[in-house]
Amino acid sequence: MTTNNKSYKNAGVDLTAGYKSVELIKKHIARTINAGALSDIGGFGGLFSLAEYSSYKQPILVSGTDGVGTKLKIAFLLDKHDTIGIDCVAMCVNDVICCGAKPLFFLDYLAVGKNIPEKVAQIVSGVAQGCVLSGCALIGGETAEMPGFYSGEEYDLAGFAVGIVDKEKILDNGTVRQGDVLIALPSSGIHSNGFSLVRKVFNIESADITSPVGELGGLSLGEALLVPTKIYVNAMLDLYKSVNVKAVSHITGGGFYENIPRGLPNGFSAKISKNNIKTPPLFKLIMKRGNIPERDMYNTFNMGVGMTVVVAKEDADKAVARLKESGTQANIIGEIIKSDEGVKIC
């Protein structure tokens, strides 16, 4: 006699594994708790108190959401999952910080082909580390087991951040003037954009990504590609306190040509000296292996610049010094000119 057992587990969803995942990630979430976090894991909604921000005259909430993209494929190939969550947080909080806001809390969404509690815990440990680095609380999230949609080894990761800024302190790019200075904050690598092109250039699924590469200082290709996205929150919050910052651009998908103009008012462009851009060897290797035109590189990747800041010329040296004090080796890469070209790299 045959038994027609149509249980949820037989359909590919293991509730017991889900419960174990929750237990394993509790210690990681605990690291992120800040003064406003009211939520305990397992609730239906994430709670956050704004009592600590009663001094704000007109508090404005700022939100950002993003994912990690196909950088996840590198994590799959290396079977290394404890840093990809940092990327997820970084992509969100680095956007939120661009208007002057302080990140408050974060929620993540993880969809897996098979719930392996230890792997889920690794992924969430990275999310928690990103939250610690940006000072925001991980107050909720979702882990969805989706057999038949993702393979057993695959997953997708996305997140959502909320920050706060006093209305009078929202960055106003209307103050940008000709002669202002453009400062670059260095990236930690490719960050989380352009990986579809990277995978094609290196034929990544078939390539050797674990052996040391001389051009990368002895790192393997996989190690270099998986370096997590730099989080700029603390450096930028410190800078906002000491210098009048006029505009900020997070250099993500679209590289220089799409992102820098987003921080500038109409009629103004950024004139950038290519010699002032400190481009790491990884980008040069991608360009060489893929025979990619230089303009396309600047239109796809951050090329070593994760964020740009516009300040008045008289504030430039102070801004660079302040960033260096916070551990960010920033440098001047150009100036603001009157033009409709958006970005000129020469």
Nearest to 172 by CA among 242, 266, 233, 100: 100
pLDDT at 152: 84
Q: Which amino acid, residue 48?
A: F
Q: Which amino acid, residue 281?
A: P
Q: 257-288: per-residue pLDDT in tens?
A: 999 999 999 999 999 999 999 999 999 999 99
Q: Is the pLDDT of residue 327 over 50?
A: yes
Beta strand pairing status for 102-112 and 137-145? parallel
Cα torsion 319, 237, 158, 189: sign: positive
Rounded percentage of the chain residues whose pLDDT exceeds 70: 94
pLDDT at 6: 62
Mean pLDDT along residues 155-174:
96
Nearest to 191 by CA among 288, 268, 87: 87
Q: 6-32: per-residue pLDDT in tens?
A: 655 665 665 576 667 778 778 888 888
pLDDT at 5: 59
| Tally of CB atoms within 10 A around 343 | 21
Nearest to 139 by CA among 32, 22, 50: 32
Mean pLDDT along residues 301-321:
98
Q: Domains for the chain: give ranges and CATH numbers.
A: 15-169 (3.30.1330.10), 173-345 (3.90.650.10)
pLDDT at 333: 98
Q: Is the pLDDT of residue 219 over 70?
A: yes
Contacts (Cβ under 8 Å, ≥6 apart) of 229: 86, 87, 90, 91, 94, 187, 188, 189, 191, 192, 306
Q: Is the pLDDT of residue 308 over 90?
A: yes
pLDDT at 191: 97
Q: Is the pLDDT of residue 249 over 80?
A: yes
Please state, rounded to an integer, the average pLDDT across all residues of the chain: 93
Q: 65-119: per-residue pLDDT in tens?
A: 999 999 999 999 999 999 999 999 999 999 999 999 999 999 999 999 999 999 9
| Largest Cα–Cα separation, the chain | 86
Q: Is the pLDDT of residue 133 over 90?
A: yes
Dist CA 83 CA 292 (whole Å): 28
Q: 238-247: per-residue pLDDT in tens?
A: 999 999 999 9
Q: Is the pLDDT of residue 40 over 70?
A: no
pLDDT at 1: 45
Rounded percentage of the chain residues whose pLDDT exceeds 90: 84
Q: Is the pLDDT of residue 178 over 90?
A: yes
Dist CA 66 CA 90 (whole Å): 9
Long-range contacts of 208-212 (CB under 8 A, 24+ apart): 209/74, 209/77, 209/78, 210/78
Q: 56-67: per-residue pLDDT in tens?
A: 999 999 999 999
